[in-house]
Amino acid sequence: MFHVGDLIIYSTHGLCEVVDICDKEFKNVSRTYYVMHPVDDPELTISIPIDIGNKNMQAIMEKKEAEGLLQSFQTPGIEWIDDSRERIKKYTSLVNTGDRTDITKVISTLMRKKQEIRENQKKMSVQDQKLLDQTQNIMFHELAASLNTSYDKISAKIKSMIKLSA
């Protein structure tokens, strides 16, 4: 169970703050809901029943885990899969497990591949770019919150670790 003021990771919305826990009635059924705002979109309000929310929410990582994940960007991620359909299926499957180590490896691989493609004056596929953008946004915000720093500082540090231009 989460509490008002907790920072959590919620599904595809990423880092959110729980701003209220209250009872709401919908179709004559009363349930207790988490009410939260994504940190990068405070105007958006998300309400989710607690029994469903607990399956799709997780507490942000501890500082020690965040430090370890941050350092993991110094090493190559996972094996690049040439077949784009197979790659997106595999990488998305890894991301959907919620395992932060696997997610970090996927991000690292996609960031490195993007740099390689850019150096060859080409563009990354739309699917790869979308997966990178979504996962990177969530992970970098979570790392920033766990390490009490900014998204921009996390992004710059990781890019320098894998030698990407800003």
What CATH number did the domain enclosing 80 receive? 1.20.58.1290
- Please answer whether residues 79 and 87 qualify as being in contact, where contact means their C-beta atoms are separated by less than 8 angstroms: no
> What percent helix, strand, coil does the chain show, rounded to 5?
50, 20, 30
State both tokens at 66.
């965040």
pLDDT digits (tens, 9 = 90+) for 22-80: 999 888 989 999 999 999 898 999 999 998 877 788 999 999 999 999 999 998 899 99
- Dist CA 98 CA 18 (whole Å): 20
Pairs from 24-27 (Cβ < 8 Å, separation ≥ 24): none
- Please answer whether residues 73 and 105 qualify as being in contact, where contact means their C-beta atoms are separated by less than 8 angstroms: no
Provide the pLDDT for residue 166. Answer: 39
Q: What is the CATH number of the domain that holds 53?
A: 2.40.10.170
Does 54 map to a domain? yes
Q: Which domain holds residue 48?
A: 7-59
